[in-house]
Amino acid sequence: MNPLKYALKKNPIIVSLTEPDDLEKALATNSNIIILIQADLCTLGETVERIKETDKLIFVHMDLIKGLKRDASGIQFLADHIGIDGIVTTHSNLIQTAKQLGLLTIQRVFILDTASIKQGVKSIKASQPDGVEILPGIAVPHIQKQIKSEIKQLIIAAGLINSHEELQYILENGAQGISSSSFEVWRAASKMES
């Protein structure tokens, strides 16, 4: 089984870590996946080492990393020297490069209207990521039939999910995971261990 799918099956909450000071809180959750958002190359190695001690999957958001070019060499550096498990990006070419290097991939797609759904599906079909992160996450129940008929990837909802009720509703209606930087959602992870 794909490690991303396995991790989400055990617990559907993904910790999106935006502030380095919140690392200990992120590590204390029962979430099996941490996405480093706005990571800084200068401190990335030690952050990844600390996360590895917990056996959580480590993803880096390529579009927001500080100090590293978003290209094949940058991804290879992260795979070979930092030891990440995967990347998150909006760029199809980065997904393909990461897959060639054996990394897990999550493609981020912004849903604004019907045209953006069609463009997102086209891009996903071309790059074939392991998972698709849809923003805003609250849109997932409304578009899930459209999306699921077109793609086979895991659906991860992210953005504007603020309550336990919304979280449950989204998971029951199309998403296999929820990615969030909210402590409230992180706390829900401890209640969702299966």
H runs (alpha helix) in 80-113 = 92-100
What Rg do the C-alpha atoms of the chain give, in angstroms? 16
Q: In this predicted structure, what is the pLDDT of residue 193?
A: 55
Q: What digits encode the pLDDT tens for the residues 6-17? A: 999 999 999 999
Identify the CATH number of the domain defined by range 3-191.
Answer: 3.20.20.70
Which residues neighbour 82 within 8 Å (Cβ) at sequence distance 6 or greater? 44, 45, 48, 60
Q: In this predicted structure, what is the pLDDT of residue 145?
A: 86
User: Kind and range of the H or E element at 105?
Assistant: strand 104-110
As a whole number of angstroms, the distance between CA 79 and CA 101 comes to 7
| pLDDT surpassing 90 at residue 135 | yes
> How many other C-beta atoms lie within 10 A of the C-beta of residue 43?
14
As a whole number of angstroms, the distance between CA 154 and CA 4 comes to 9
Q: Domain spans of the chain? A: 3-191
Percent residues over pLDDT 90 in the chain: 87
Q: What digits encode the pLDDT tens for the residues 28-65? A: 999 999 999 989 999 999 999 999 999 999 999 999 99
